[in-house]
Amino acid sequence: MKKTVVLSFLFILFTILDSPKISSWGFYGHKKINNMAVFTLPPAMIGFYKKHIDFITEHAVDADSRRSIDEQEAPRHFIDIDRYGDHPFDSIPMLWEKAVVKYSEDSLKAHGIVPWHIQVMLGRLTFAFKENNINKILRYSADIGHYVADAHVPLHTTKNYNGQLTNQKGIHGFWESRIPELKGNEYDYFVGRAKYIDKSQYTAWQIVRASFAAKDSVLNFEASLNSRFDSDKKYSYETRGAKNVKVYSIEYANEYDRMLNGMVERRMREAILMVGSYWYTAWVNAGQPDLDKLVEIDTFDTTPLDTIYPPKQALQGKGHEE
């Protein structure tokens, strides 16, 4: 019986990690983004976040793991914006309530809701700061970092999310996992100081817009490279644990990264700064509570949080604009 349970768990785990719309940035990327975002924070916040940097780093991937137990989780990581016509950003309302009226909630969730969910998470984190609730602050910080990072991935903004419509299956993990893992040690992760986001809902949509603008380059450059690269050199095998795994070769990855002119690093850097900025914005909107008092607390409740929204008033106020 125990063996069956373990095997079932492993099947679910590997299914999650293999799903392009769930794996997003890979473990390396998400953890690195949350980790480095801590160093964008002002003095009044950085002491608290540095004390808990290991927690925020390790739990950067919790949102992916919830996919197996929460059917509402998957749409929060992406938006297939090209399902809304030739000029989607002129068609779809930025505000959730208006979008629901125009398209219905079921339709919106079917095509992804990441820009709206970032706003929900900002409200949750703001309320957590108001409560001085360490557990919620840390978990919501880790989670909003995940969703903001996902929004920076071009292939999280298109129905052709894994190149399955253009015979490029596998490009999703190639762009957001393979390249960062190979090149990440060369990246410059110091991106400056977090900034207050005056129009948070608008900013989430601007992130999506920039990602979508890069989508064609992500797909077209790989198609061009594939057409002229020796097929026997495109892939190689690497040892992962006790298995030999087929991966994009280092030569192929290096050439693709060169063609993208550092796009992966740029999007990763922008994600780091924006994650820190959303944390900072939530803290400011909460009235800038004294986090130094929380630094003195050595233990906190690690029970996973439910997905119930905070009181409605926590989602009102600054940042909820057209």
Whether residue 299 is predicted with pLDDT greater than 70 in this model: the reply is no
Region 227-254 average pLDDT: 93
Mean pLDDT of 176-203: 96
Q: What is the pLDDT of residues 25-37, one digit of tens each?
A: 778 999 999 999 9
Mean pLDDT of 214-232: 96
pLDDT in the model for residue 297: 83
pLDDT at position 24 is 61
**To the nearest 10°, the Cα dihedral for 165, 168, 173, 176?**
-90
| Strand 243-248 versus strand 235-240 pairing type | antiparallel
DSSP H helical segments within the chain, as ranges? Answer: 2-18, 20-23, 26-37, 43-51, 53-58, 62-65, 88-91, 96-103, 105-111, 114-131, 134-151, 171-173, 179-183, 200-228, 231-234, 250-259, 263-285, 292-295
DSSP 3-state assignment of 76?
A: helix
Lowest mean pLDDT of 23-32, 105-114, 120-129, name the range: 23-32
d(CA 153, CA 216): 12
pLDDT in the model for residue 33: 98
In 66-199, where does DSSP find H-type helix? 88-91, 96-103, 105-111, 114-131, 134-151, 171-173, 179-183
| Contact criterion met (CB below 8 Å) for 297 and 134 | yes
Distance CA 218, CA 216 (A): 5
Determine the pLDDT at residue 49.
Answer: 98
Q: What per-residue confidence (pLDDT) applies to 41?
A: 98
CB neighbours of residue 44 within 10 Å = 14
> What confidence category does residue 305 fall into, taking pLDDT thresholds of 50, 70 and 90?
low
Per the CB < 8 A criterion, the answer to whether 275 and 34 are in contact is yes
pLDDT at position 186 is 95
Q: What is the mean pLDDT of residues 56-78?
A: 93
> Of the candidates 60, 77, 27, which has an alpha carbon nearest to the alpha carbon of residue 279?
60
| Length of the chain in terms of residues written | 322
Question: What is the per-residue DSSP string for 111-122?
Answer: H--HHHHHHHHH
pLDDT given at position 241: 84
pLDDT at position 9 is 36
**pTM given for the model:** 0.87
Q: What is the mean pLDDT of the chain?
A: 88
**Is the pLDDT reported for residue 8 higher than 50?**
no
Decide if pLDDT at 13 tops 70.
Answer: no
pLDDT surpasses 90 at 75: yes
Give the model's confidence band at 316: pLDDT under 50 very low, under 70 low, under 90 confident, else very high. Answer: very low
Work out the average pLDDT over 190-208.
Answer: 97
Q: Is the pLDDT reported for residue 1 higher than 80?
A: no
Q: pLDDT, tens digit, for every residue of 16-64?
A: 334 444 456 778 999 999 999 999 999 999 999 999 999 999 999 999 9
For the segment 188-197, what is each residue's pLDDT rounded down to a tens digit? 999 999 999 9
Q: Residue type for 276, please?
A: G
- What band does 67 get if pLDDT is binned at 50, 70 and 90? confident
- At 6 the pLDDT is 38
Q: Is the pLDDT of residue 313 over 80?
A: no
Residues paired with residue 236 on neighbouring β-strands, in sequence order: 247
Of 40 and 68, which is predicted with more confidence?
A: 40
| Inter-residue contact 196 to 45 (CB < 8 Å) | no
Q: Tens of pLDDT along 254-274?
A: 999 999 999 999 999 999 999
